[in-house]
């Protein structure tokens, strides 16, 4: 166990007292490690496209206040509790935002943005693992710290820590695609593909060896997406389809590509009326699978039953998905540098600018972070 005296008594953090007041940088006491926890020195804290909507109350997400904001991050272990067996001070780690109750893994919540759905998750998010990664130091469950092989990733493969933060976007569709057991060589429709998580889904599916049909409204962004993928993964199998809004037309366009094995959807709640997912499911083969990671209301076609299709909801990913994703990254299965991601970085004092930028700097290969 590292000497806790190595940790400063206080550190800087972005604290949201109330929705109305917004964030301000404050000096707060540095947490100390105990059994089952690590204290991580945060290097980069991820910001997603709708972080701003969460913290200004528009999304209606429930979380305790005051709170230190955040989500997943990359940092270095500062100190560990007595039961750590492989984590050591100085190690580079992925700090994951999905926290499960140890005595009931079905009780889970997303650090600093959503308190979860039951009494157990609400208790843990309020009383135990409350504060997020928009801070110099964060207390994290040991099992949420994933070791990153710094020599392999940063020296041999040449990733910067900022580039590795694109995991924030890529892990989510990876969780959905693994959940519906996407196989190399299969064809998957990613919709909508022009957003942050959809774009990352295209990259992930290509790196998993699938042929991707990327669906979206914005032709210019679809063209950028195709170019980005082809540059980073020469020989990638990628097609694009512009959504017309007409269910039958879009289903026929997709069917013209031949057998479609899988679909992944990442529609934001404000687009819940869109017909694109219904079209994609209509085009699915017999026994096809669909991962529903977004919010679309009208999805049921007659063929879901007649064609033995599976529609599966999925929140985030499982622990083993993160472990496998890191292995894929370390094996060099993803593009490097700007062919993977072009990050925008802000300081804690620029929190408003960071939240605004994250809402705009979306789509494949784009991510935003706060560097405490």
* 354 lines the binding site for ligand NAP (CB under 6 A): no
Is the distance from CB of 13 to CB of 134 less than 8 angstroms?
A: yes
Q: How far is the CB of 266 from ligand NAP (least distance, A)?
A: 4
In 3D space, the residue among 151, 205, 160, 148 whose CA is nearest the CA of residue 181 turns out to be 205
In this complex, which beta carbon is closest to ligand NAP, that of residue 137 or of residue 325?
325
* 365 lines the binding site for ligand NAP (CB under 6 A): no
List 23, 63, 134, 197, residue binding ligand NAP (CB under 6 A): 197
Listed ranges 10-18, 72-80, 226-234, 267-275: which one lies at the site for ligand NAP (CB under 6 A): 267-275
Binders of ligand NAP in range 159-178 (CB under 6 A): 172
Q: Dihedral, CA atoms, 76, 81, 84, 86, nearest 10 degrees?
A: 20
Query: Can you tell me the distance from the alpha carbon of 67 to that of 13, in angstroms, rounded to the nearest whole number?
Result: 10
Query: Can you tell me the distance from the alpha carbon of 334 to that of 173, in angstroms, rounded to the nearest whole number?
Result: 14
List 26, 217, 247, 344, residue binding ligand NAP (CB under 6 A): 217
Degrees, nearest 5: CA angle 135-113-335: 75
Strands 238-242 and 211-216, by their bridges, are: parallel
Instruction: Compose the 285-324 pattern: x for residues touching ligand NAP by CB under 6 A, - for all others.
Output: --------xxx------------------xxx--------
Is the distance from CB of 59 to CB of 53 less than 8 angstroms?
A: yes
Query: Can you tell me the distance from the alpha carbon of 91 to that of 76, in angstroms, rounded to the nearest whole number?
Result: 5
> Which helix H or strand E contains 319, and what residues bound it?
helix 319-330
Query: Can you tell me the distance from the alpha carbon of 116 to that of 100, in angstroms, rounded to the nearest whole number?
Result: 10
Query: Can you tell me the distance from the alpha carbon of 26 to that of 271, in angstroms, rounded to the nearest whole number?
Result: 37
Binders of ligand NAP in range 227-266 (CB under 6 A): 266
In this complex, which beta carbon is closest to ligand NAP, that of residue 274 or of residue 301?
274
* 50 lines the binding site for ligand NAP (CB under 6 A): yes
In this complex, which beta carbon is closest to ligand NAP, that of residue 242 or of residue 331?
242
Instruction: Specify which residues 265 forms β-bridges with.
Output: 191, 292
List the structure tokens of 372: 């405490």
List 69, 195, 288, 365, residue binding ligand NAP (CB under 6 A): 195
Q: How far is the CB of 45 from ligand NAP (least distance, A)?
A: 16
In this complex, which beta carbon is closest to ligand NAP, that of residue 62 or of residue 150?
62
* 276 lines the binding site for ligand NAP (CB under 6 A): yes
Would you tell me which residues interact with ligand NAP (CB under 6 A)?
Answer: 48-50, 172, 192, 194-198, 216-218, 221, 266-269, 271, 274, 276, 293-295, 314-316, 362
């Amino acid at each position: 166990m590292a000497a806790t005296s190595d940790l400063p008594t206080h550190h800087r953090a972005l604290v949201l007292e109330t929705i109305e007041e917004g964030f301000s940088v404050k000096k707060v006491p540095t947490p100390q490690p105990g059994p089952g926890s690590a204290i991580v020195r945060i290097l980069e804290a991820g910001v997603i496209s709708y972080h701003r909507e969460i913290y200004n109350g528009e999304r209606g997400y429930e979380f305790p206040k005051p709170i230190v904001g955040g989500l997943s991050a990359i940092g270095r272990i500062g100190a560990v509790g007595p039961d750590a067996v492989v984590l050591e001070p100085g190690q580079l780690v992925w700090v994951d935002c999905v926290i499960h109750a140890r005595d009931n893994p079905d009780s889970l919540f997303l650090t600093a943005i959503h308190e979860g759905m039951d009494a157990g998750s609400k208790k843990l998010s309020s009383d135990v693992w409350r504060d997020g990664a928009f801070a110099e130091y964060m207390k994290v469950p040991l099992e949420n710290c994933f070791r990153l092989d710094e020599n392999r990733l940063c020296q041999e493969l040449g990733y910067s820590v900022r580039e590795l933060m694109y995991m924030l976007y890529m892990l989510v569709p990876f969780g959905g695609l693994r959940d519906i057991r996407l196989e190399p060589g299969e064809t998957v429709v990613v919709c909508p593909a022009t957003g942050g998580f959809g774009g990352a889904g295209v990259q992930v599916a290509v790196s998993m060896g699938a042929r991707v049909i990327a669906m979206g409204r914005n032709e210019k962004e679809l063209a950028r997406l195709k170019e980005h993928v082809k540059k980073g993964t020469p020989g990638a199998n990628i097609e694009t389809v512009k959504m017309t809004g007409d269910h039958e037309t879009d289903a026929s366009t997709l069917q013209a590509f031949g057998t479609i094995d899988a679909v992944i959807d990442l529609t934001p709640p404000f687009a819940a009326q869109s017909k694109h997912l219904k079209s994609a499911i209509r085009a699915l083969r017999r026994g096809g699978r669909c991962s529903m990671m977004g919010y679309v209301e009208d999805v049921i076609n007659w063929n879901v039953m007649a064609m033995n299709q599976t529609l599966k909801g999925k929140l985030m990913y499982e622990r083993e998905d993160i472990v496998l994703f890191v292995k894929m990254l370390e094996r060099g299965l993803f593009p490097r540098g700007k062919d993977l991601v072009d990050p925008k970085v802000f300081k804690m004092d620029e929190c408003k600018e960071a939240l605004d930028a994250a809402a705009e700097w979306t789509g494949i290969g784009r991510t935003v972070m706060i560097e405490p």
